[in-house]
Amino acid sequence: MLNEPLIDKSNLPFVMANMAIDDGSPLPIYEQICRTVRTAISNGDLPRGTQLPTTRDLAEVLKVGRNTVVTAYLRLSAEGFVVTNRRRGTRVSEDWTQFSLSTSGIRLEDDGATIGHVREQPIHRAAAAPVTISYRARELLDEHASTERFGRSVSLHSPDPSLYPRNPLSRLLAEEFCRPPGTDFDRGAHRFQSAVAQLLRQMRGVVCEPEQIIPVVGIESAVDLVSRVLLDPGHCVYFEDPGHEFVLQNLTASGAQIIPIPSDGKGADISRVYGPPARLIYVSPSVGFPFGQQMSEDRRLALLDAARGWNSIVFENDSHWELSYAGCRLRALQGRSDQTPVVYFAALSSTLGPHIRIGYLVVPPDLVKAFNEMAQRMACVPDCFVLGALATFIESSEYAVHTRKLRTIYSQRVKALSGAMRSRLSGITVLEPDGGLNLTALLDDDLDEQTICDAANSRGVAAAALSQFYCERRGFKPPQGLVLGLGNLPDRTIDSTVDRLQNILRDGRRAIS
């Protein structure tokens, strides 16, 4: 048989020749080898001075990689169970009991008359009760959602890695990292706050002072921070529907009651909500997800009026405002609301890449102290040297030039992809976005959404089922569609991607018929 080992097991110690590896065990293979050898040595099955097989021979017998056995031998040698000599190989240590602890007990030194003798006392451990995770953790982890599906939705937001500003940003990061620490340890954070406040005042009409900027590590940290400061269990939260899964999960885990705000091509429509007054209203008025639409002016005014009447707080997610490439760019809600408190969020990962996991909140002045203290306790504040490098990048013209370049590239990519899909694909309705990194296509009734989505991902097309981003509403059936990511879709691959989608749709119709 070709799979039989070439080593004669009769030449190996019995324990080593009959060692069993459990592939289903949570323990690494090298640790399983270590445990078997430790037990055999302590029980006397491998006496002192016993020659152990070479790493190559044992790896062949166990059908594992040689490096795994090397790691196990190194571990046993460090613990004093074995000694390794280049000429004599690996042997059980002659005085292993003086250096190591047995797996079955603790050795205690006798008195001076019997110095060196070791007496073992067994340890009796009660069976450990299973440890359960908290209710909040179960909500956040969402036991009913598959890891694969979550991975797909995350990949939709990744920008084009070829467009990262590697050279200027890496230079700035290196300079800040090597800067000697001074008396002002928060210098980078203060500079970041000033740079962002100036940027938002000029580009988004946000009215704020630098101290109102709270740096955070991405949207997840921002939502968690807002939930901890502003929400109690039982509070009512109005959530733009459809929307980001991970935002909805974080808000749900806070114990809040979620009521969806129906959204369409004009953004979230607050007039279609029926429920108790909201404590928090979550919307993405600049670039909504997944349609990439901009909220119309009349709906913005209606939302602010409703929030003012309910004494609600608005959470404005403006994370893709730099990637708005169609229509007029309306002023942020935060800058046009005098009496309605607005917590504003934006991030830099969509323009600088996911490795720059930096976002920021703009909070009302009377909430600055609470947000700052809670952010410090949660340890969700980014490193000051990273903030300092980003501050320099924003203060210079490099960030403005970079975002302008991105808008041009992504705008052309959206037009090329949507045009190719409309001309070559049947059975879908392409919804061209106003901004963002996604494009949504509605599917005809003769196509199964999940089948098409699974086939697209298996063939290298970043796609997610549209229906998964909707809240559950009684009597409402979410539309079927695909949400396609643009970041990992270079221009040269658009034709081949559309070809693959064409074959996928054709195969999907055949499967149904």
What domains are defined for the chain? 9-122 (1.10.10.10), 150-397 (3.40.640.10), 401-512 (3.90.1150.10)
Average pLDDT across the chain, whole number: 83
pLDDT per position as a tens digit, 429-470: 999 898 999 999 999 888 888 889 989 888 888 889 999 999
pLDDT per position as a tens digit, 406-423: 999 999 999 999 999 999
Structure tokens at 182: 């001074």
Q: Is the pLDDT of residue 511 over 70?
A: no
Structure tokens at 39: 């037990």
Q: Is the pLDDT of residue 110 over 80?
A: no
C-alpha to C-alpha distance for 239 and 265, rounded to whole angstroms: 16
Q: What's the whole-model pTM score?
A: 0.72
452 burial (CB, 10 Å; 0-12 / 13-18 / 19+) is buried
The predicted pLDDT at position 129 comes to 61
pLDDT per position as a tens digit, 307-357: 999 999 999 999 889 998 876 778 999 998 778 899 999 999 889 988 888
Phi/psi at 31 (nearest 5 deg)? -70, -35
Residue 242, preceding peptide bond in cis (omega within 30° of 0): yes
Q: Which residues have CB under 8 Å from 343's CB, separation 6+?
A: 226, 230, 313, 314, 315, 316, 361, 362, 363, 364, 367
Q: 510 in helix, strand or coil?
A: helix
Q: Is the pLDDT of residue 188 over 60?
A: yes
Task: Tell me the one-letter amino acid at 271.
Answer: S
- When pLDDT is cut at 50, 70 and 90, the band that residue 214 belongs to is very high
End-to-end Cα spacing for the chain: 47
Q: For residues 503 and 509, is the Cβ–Cβ distance under 8 A?
A: no
The predicted pLDDT at position 10 comes to 65
